[in-house]
């Protein structure tokens, strides 16, 4: 009888040890997932890109391009890191849209003209698939 109770105590201790080890592994895996998940989720990435891809097209009016420049400026001023900032290229040059810009340089876009707007995706800072560059060419 005494041996049977000792066997039950040992078996219980082994089961308790296995439970504690399993719980430790579970907590470690969840913590590692949080640390490795610095990138945006698919929904966040899609929402970020939609702010700019809605203006993309072959024959975009100048007023729409001006709205795009405002959206890029707003994004760049509120971006928490440089990885999420978007650059705008028009012709052979880059339009300044950094933190020193007080307003979008809409004077570089004629309202009556037609433009081709193309969003380019990059892989900077681990956030792959984000719009990081927009090319505007006059038709």
Q: What's the pLDDT tens digit per position in 9-36?
A: 999 999 999 999 999 999 988 887 666 5
pTM for the whole thing?
Answer: 0.64
Neighbour tally for 40: CB within 10 Å: 18
Q: What's the pLDDT tens digit per position in 45-70?
A: 888 889 999 999 999 999 999 999 99
């Amino acid at each position: 009888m005494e041996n049977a109770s000792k066997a039950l105590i040992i078996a219980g201790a082994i089961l308790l040890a296995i439970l504690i080890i399993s719980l430790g592994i579970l907590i470690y895996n969840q913590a590692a997932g949080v640390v490795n998940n610095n990138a945006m989720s698919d929904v966040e990435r899609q929402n970020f890109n939609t702010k700019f891809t809605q203006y993309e097209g072959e024959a975009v009016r100048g007023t729409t391009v001006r709205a795009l420049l405002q959206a890029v400026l707003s994004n760049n001023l509120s971006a928490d890191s440089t990885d999420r900032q978007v650059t705008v290229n028009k012709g052979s040059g880059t339009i300044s849209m950094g933190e020193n810009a007080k307003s979008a340089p809409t004077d570089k876009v004629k309202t009556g003209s037609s433009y081709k707007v193309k969003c380019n995706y990059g892989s900077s800072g681990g956030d792959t698939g984000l719009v990081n560059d927009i090319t505007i060419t006059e038709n």
